[in-house]
Amino acid sequence: MNLPFSSDAAPATFLIGGAGAGKTELALNLSVFKSSRYGGSTLIDLDIVNPFFRVRKLREEVEALGVKVICPGDRVVSGDIPALPPAAWGALEAPGQAVVCDIGGGEPGLRPLGRMKDIAAARGANVFFVINPFRPGFTSPGELAESFRHMCGLSAMQVTHLVANPNLSGETSVELFREGLAMVQDFAGKTGLPLAFAVVASELAGKLGVAIEGLPGFYSSGDLDVFVLERYWSVPWHFGVVR
């Protein structure tokens, strides 16, 4: 598959969007995918918002897969202070290495990105705005448009593509996925921005008719490009939902 955003031998990719849009899971998967495709990649953890579900928590796991992780130094790695790792700038300036930047969601997470606006433009970076239309603030066309406008302004980045990530976690059905996807496609039509791909959990991919050969990976589902995820978060409380 020759997707427009991956034709570059060493693309830089910024993932922005609302809190809880699925950026971190996507960043982990994209960086692993790029590592296998380009023989290495760099994943930059710029999340200064979410205290727990951050790339740095899985550093050892993804580094074993050929991904170099850049995150705040050891002394502040478990903190909630807005410490951006200086090595991030070096990685973005260095040619020849695929780079994925995971940004904290919402207003406080996006604001520091302004500092990277120029370097991203110089690098010709792809800026993906990730949308889950089942998250508060994105559940209607009006809300989605307003949140998009507001968050793009905060980040000071020029969004190049939209990414659809319609899901209700483990309760995502094919019908729900298609309903959410249609909303993002409609929004893409209104903005004129290309929809780069849709994110699909591996357990849903089969139901969408996707023949998976390896995870994570890009596949086709009809005329839709999908990126099928490997689940890297494994949490001890996942099983026992008490109702």
Partner 1 sequence: MAKVLMKGNEAIGEAAVLAGCRYYFGYPITPQSELPAYLAKRLPEVDGVFVQAESEVAAINMVYGSGSAGARVMTSSSSPGISLKQEGISYIAGAEVPCLIVNVMRGGPGLGNIAPAQSDYWQSTRGGGHGDYRTIVLAPNSVQEMADMTITGFDLSDRFRNPVLLLSDGVLGQMMEPVNLPEPHDYNINSKKWALGYRGSDKNERNLCSSIFLDNDELEEHNWHLYQKYQVITDLFSKGEYKDFAVEEHLCDDAEIILVGYGIISRILKTVVEKCRKRGIKAGLVRPKVLWPFPTAVFERLAKTASQFLVVEMSCGQMVEDVKLSVDGKKPVFFFGRTGGTVPSDFEILNEVDKLVRPD
**Interatomic CA distance for residues 57 and 105, integer angstroms:** 17
Beta strands 161-164 and 126-131: pairing type? parallel
Answer yes or no whether residue 141 interacts with partner 1 by CB under 8 A. no
SS3 of 240, please? coil
CB of 90 to partner 1, least distance (A): 28
Q: Got the DSSP string for 68-108?
A: EEE-S-TTTTTS-S----THHHHHHHSTTSEEEEEE--HHH
**Interatomic CA distance for residues 148 and 155, integer angstroms:** 11
Answer yes or no whether residue 146 interacts with partner 1 by CB under 8 A. no
46-65 footprint of partner 1 as x/- string (CB under 8 A): ----xxxx------------
Stretch that binds partner 1, among 27-35, 200-208, 217-225, 231-239 (CB under 8 A): 231-239
Among 12, 16, 19, 110, binds partner 1 (CB under 8 A): 19
Q: Got the DSSP string for 206-234?
A: GGGT---SSSSEEEEETTEEEEEEP----
CB of 24 to partner 1, least distance (A): 11
Subset of residues 74 to 93 that bind partner 1, contact rule: CB under 8 A: 78-80
Residues in contact with partner 1 by CB under 8 A are 19-20, 50-53, 78-80, 106-107, 132, 134-136, 139, 167-171, 235-237, 239-243
